[in-house]
Amino acid sequence: MQSRKMVFFKFLFFVVFLLISCSNNNKINRRELVHRHFPSIDKVDSLSPFTVGNGEFAFTTDITGLQTFPHAYERGIPLGTLSQWGWHSITNDSNYNYEQVLESYRSDDKVIKYGSKHKTKAGQWLRANPHRLHLGRIGFHFSKNNNSEPRIKEIENIHQTVNLWQGIINSSFNYKGDNYKVETTVNPNDDQIAVMIKSLAIKKGEVSIAFEFPYGSLEWGKNSADWLSPEKHSTVIIKKSSNQVLFLRTLDTTKYYVSIEWDGDAEIELVKKHKYLLKVKSGEKFKFIAHFSEEPKIDDLMNAEETFSLSKKQWQKFWETGGAIDLSESTNPKAKELERRIVLSRYLTAIQCAGSLPPAETGLTCNSWYGKFHLEMHWWHGIHFVQWNKPEYFEKSLPWYRKILPVAEANAKQQGYLGARWPKMVGPLGDESPSAVGVFLIWQQPHPIYFTELLYRYYNDNDILEKYKEIVFKTADFMASYPTWDKNGKRFVLGPPLIPAQEIYKSEVTINPAFELAYWTFGLNTAQLWRERLGLERDEKWDFVLNNLSEIPSNNGYYQNSENAMNTFQDMNNRNDHPTLLGILGFLNSENIDKVMLNRTLDKVMESWNWENTWGWDYPLVAMTAVRLGRPKLAIDVLLMETQKNTYLLNGHNYQNDNLPIYLPGNGGLLTAVAMMAAGWEGSSGVEAPGFPKDGSWVVKYENLFTFP
């Protein structure tokens, strides 16, 4: 007979085995999750070129795995080679400066100057410079075509896939009887592409790689290159060997370097100004790398084999760590598409939005607003990285705020305010771009407080307080000095002049927009909390503003856009653009919100808003409000609403219109909303996946997600 001790240990072993088995059954198979959403194409799709990148640098390809047919993509998503450091300005021969674009506006009893003269010559120059620069086009040149450019219609048997798990684009195609297999990747730690080509055409001497370099584009739209001004820039070989060449590129005062290194029998040849051919002479395989940098680099470059190996290692690590959501066991017909959008958005934001600068709406794929970034969008681009337990991807861009702090302080001082006023549309130096809209926006002001508070909550580390306290306090100083005192109402008001996040109102008439009031309260309250954590006394000025700030506008039982639009739901003209009045409980977790009134307001928005005039991040915004109000089905319906601005292309990009075919705030907003829906938010009920319907059609597995504030 077995001893009681032996029976006990067998029972214990059985329990442990059972627990481990259950745990393994519930564990997400991350490889399968990612693999089932590899995007693939079998034909030319100008709206679905594929991109590889690392957050600092990105390379967008056509069906050949390179940039062979750029004209076929111009009306869709252009092919580009863009970086965080690659900016260009034309020479300022007319000495344009910001003083020339200032106009005076009255704010209570003060006159304040804003840079709103954007249509002047000075305004246009300052808006367009600096602009992000296409660093160079790399494509196939097929000599069997009698040296004429191949036509895209001649490319057959196309098959192209992005291996998300490895960060590699795999391309296969036939051209005039020969099959080509191409692999393309980017070094995870450097601004370098690596390419491997396999084809019998190589040993016939029929394959060359073309390298062509443009001037900077002064266009507002998605084009990041000027190919028609060869006389305005130079391309010079400054070093050359049997398997390597180093180019110096000079555009006005901008200089950068391109190193090309290959493994195989080939030679470089100039074919016309700014265009070189790397002619491959023999073999069935050919490998090369192209490295882009501000300083010359030709030694110690990582070769193609090493680059592919590192890419595989780093991307596997990316997917195996941090958060994950698996919806594959759900029977709801919307689950598969939602999971696809999640996986592709995680890839796209990692390669486009995780750099040392705040991202542009179109990231590192093409230009929008001259490639400049909009600081009010930084929240939508980046905070999801913290929720998905990848805070380091977001933190890369935060030191930039410290770098431009003197610029922000000068902005505030010029207008007679304290602290730091953060700009809206900027390049790397933080200089505000003239605008009839952007210079009046204020909802980017509390962002640095939100960002740093989110990091503090994540790390629960006082070092965060010391690291970012200057940014928080300078931001709060401006926020406390910005409102004007209404003597009759005995309250502080926001504006005028002011343009809210819902950019449909004139600056001269806007007063107390709902979202901005709620965000102002959050910002000043949080800054006071930082003072207390650091053992400092509360700031009396901040408290005076907090205690006397205007209430969020409401009328007829509904919250309103702003006090100048108290007929929000009577006048259809008020129901365009962003429905940010819902952000008071959604984006924010504001106290003292009347949830009954907000529920009515949400219903009115859903019933009457002009959804064709919304933007990609509006759908996550509404979804977050819906889940805080206990309406998860509505959140799902909104996230997957069938409207043009909520379109997610085959490659995962959030399409808006022809001028803005990429809109990364939509991707980032989606990730913010679904992480909140899965892992909950501070004050949520503790129910598993509280933001998803409990109708039996949703099975939500999630791992390692950080609770939303």
Within 10 angstroms of residue 337's Cβ, the number of other Cβ atoms is 13
DSSP string over 361-428: TTTTTS-SGGG-EEGGGHHHHHTHHHHTT-HHHHHTTTHHHHHTHHHHHHHHHHTT-SS----SEE-T
pLDDT at 8: 42
pTM beyond 0.85: yes
Q: Fill in the DSSP letter of residue 129.
A: S
Taking residue 606's Cβ as centre, other Cβ atoms within 10 Å add up to 17
| pLDDT given at position 145 | 54
Ranges in the chain annotated CATH 2.70.98.50: 33-90+134-315
pLDDT at residue 378, as a whole number: 98
242 to 260, 262, 315, 686, 700: CA distances (angstroms): 11, 9, 33, 65, 56
Fold for the domain defined by 324-703: Glycosyltransferase (1.50.10)
Nearest-angstrom CA–CA distance, 87 and 94 = 20
Are 326 and 701 in contact, with CB atoms under 8 Å apart? Answer: yes
- Which residues belong to CATH 1.50.10.10 in the chain? 324-703
User: CA 377, CA 660: separation in Å to the nearest integer?
Assistant: 15
Nearest residue to 31 (alpha-carbon basis) of 185, 167, 184, 164: 164
Chain position carrying tokens 């029929």: 206
pLDDT of residue 148: 61
Q: What are the average pLDDT values for consecutive 10-residue runs of the chain, which has 709 residues?
A: 43 36 65 98 98 98 98 97 98 97 94 97 98 98 69 95 98 96 98 97 93 96 95 98 97 98 95 97 95 94 98 98 98 98 98 98 96 98 98 98 98 98 98 98 98 98 98 98 97 98 97 98 98 98 98 98 97 97 97 97 98 98 98 98 98 97 98 98 91 98 97
Side-chain-side CA neighbours of residue 371 (13 Å): 30
- The structure tokens listed for 253 are 């005062």
**Closest listed residue to residue 106, CA positions, set 415, 567, 366:** 415
What span, in angstroms and rounded, lies between the C-alpha atoms of 80 and 64? 14
What pLDDT score does 210 carry?
97
Residues shown for the chain: 709
Structurally, at CATH architecture level, domain 33-90+134-315 sits in Distorted Sandwich (2.70)
